[in-house]
Amino acid sequence: MDNRIVLDKEALAGEFISLVTPDSLSYKEREVTDLLKEKLLELGFIVTEDDAAAKIGGNAGNVYAFLPGDLPGDPILFTGHTDTVAPGTGKKAVRHPDGRITSDGSTILGADDFAGITEILGGIRAVIRAGIPRRDIEILFSPAEEVYTVGASVMDYSRVRAKEAYCLDLSGHIGTAAVQAPSLVSYSVTVKGKGAHAGFEPEKGIHAIAVAAEAIASLRQGHIDEETTLNIGTIEGGTQINAVPALCRVTGEARGFDHEKVLTAAESVRKAFEAAAEKVGAEIKYEQSVHLHTYRNGEDEPVVRHFRKACESLGIPSKLQVTFGGSDVNQYILHGIRGLVISSGMFGTHTTSEYCCEQDLYDGAQLVAELACMRTEEL
């Protein structure tokens, strides 16, 4: 890294706390979105927000920002998401003497994904202040990522010029990157039976919950092979204890590294429910949604080579791994943008034990700065 770049660990921690403090549950990111737009404008970015809010039923859209640079070549894209999971209302960040930052234990912290956003802002700010030549920089902050990346799914990617994206949205210490992610299909099955009095004439009914139970029992769940999982996530039905339930609804998901296998796994659910329903004359309604398409980055791709080179320049060990979780990168790949999900130093995500470390915020900002200034033609 150029020795003119100066990062302030105290300032990074303060900015992180300022970003996690507002409530920003999925579909309700307005306050933090406005804050981020102000910060980007202060850095000199051209900033726009799209109409994703209207499309997904939220109150904030995708924030896209562009900052021209001095170096030749395509722009570089840095991305993160503005929403958090529950419990995420009334978050209070607590700094500890050992450098950890946690919540007060009653909510998640919000390091997912405000650690990554803090590092993006901090790294780029340091580069600008140092006056070092940089690439054209694009930024995309998306809403509602935690609910199957719906914000990024409605983005107009014709506006994005970059072919190389770094999504700071992975757990672990800085230097970790995920080169493979799964396809994900969710489904719902509604069983329509026939109501009847459970005491006087149960034989006149068709027990919708029993149909669902038989179908579920016939399915193999969990790892159905080494790269595919299937899960029944919720089941609800019936209206009262003395009535044969006429309706039952079941939801779940399938995910894996082979898209066709994932579709086949979801199809097995439909077939199992149809078979169970046919035995007793029930009906079913099956619906599914494809949320994510699997991808894998080769180690020779520029986005991977540049990441590893930047880590090497900073003396940070790099580690490539696979993840069974999705991210906005699953959407970028569909639009010709080769993305890499990289760690922002968050741990215990989606729990009230979530935390990040001040040193990781510093290292992550360093990595962003290094990537922004990298002369890719030299690789």
Q: Supply the range of the domain harboring residue 26.
A: 9-181+294-378
State the CATH number of the domain containing residue 191: 3.30.70.360
Is 172 in the same domain as 67? yes
Is 106 in the same domain as 36? yes
Is 309 in the same domain as 373? yes
pLDDT tens per residue, range 315-355: 999 999 999 999 999 999 999 999 999 999 999 999 999 99
Is 213 in the same domain as 342? no
Residue 6 has what pLDDT? 85
State the CATH number of the domain containing residue 364: 3.40.630.10
Residue 215 has what pLDDT? 98
Torsion angle in degrees (nearest 10) through CA of 371, 65, 62, 179: -10
Peptide bond into 87 cis (omega under 30): yes
Asked if 68 and 129 touch (Cβ cutoff 8 Å), the reply is no
pLDDT tens per residue, range 86-107: 999 999 999 999 999 999 999 9
Is 269 in the same domain as 353? no
Is 256 in the same domain as 355? no
Residue 233 has pLDDT above 60, yes or no: yes
Q: Tell me the torsion sign for CA atoms 96, 323, 367, 1.
A: positive
Instruction: Name the percent of the chain lying above pLDDT 90.
Output: 96
Note if 169 is an active site residue.
Answer: no
Is 287 in the same domain as 336? no
Which of 29, 83, 328, 354 is labelled catalytic? 83
314-341 as b/e: b if 16+ CB within 10 A: bebebebeebebbbbbbbbbeeebbbbb
Within a domain: 3: no
Burial of 379 (0-12, 13-18, 19+ CB in 10 A): exposed
Per-residue pLDDT, averaged over 275-303, amounts to: 97
Which of 49, 136, 145, 164 is labelled catalytic? 145
Is 222 in the same domain as 73? no
Domain-terminating residue out of 243, 266, 292: 292
Asked if 371 and 168 touch (Cβ cutoff 8 Å), the reply is no
Residue 379 has pLDDT above 60, yes or no: no
pLDDT tens per residue, range 251-278: 999 999 999 999 999 999 999 999 999 9
Note if 83 is an active site residue.
Answer: yes
281: Cα separation from own chain's centroid: 41
Number of domains composing the chain:
2
Within a domain: 1: no
Domain-terminating residue out of 253, 277, 292: 292
Is 174 in the same domain as 315? yes
pLDDT tens per residue, range 8-30: 999 999 999 999 999 999 999 99
**C-alpha span between 221 and 290 (Å, rounded):** 19
Is 148 in the same domain as 201? no
Domain-terminating residue out of 261, 292, 323: 292
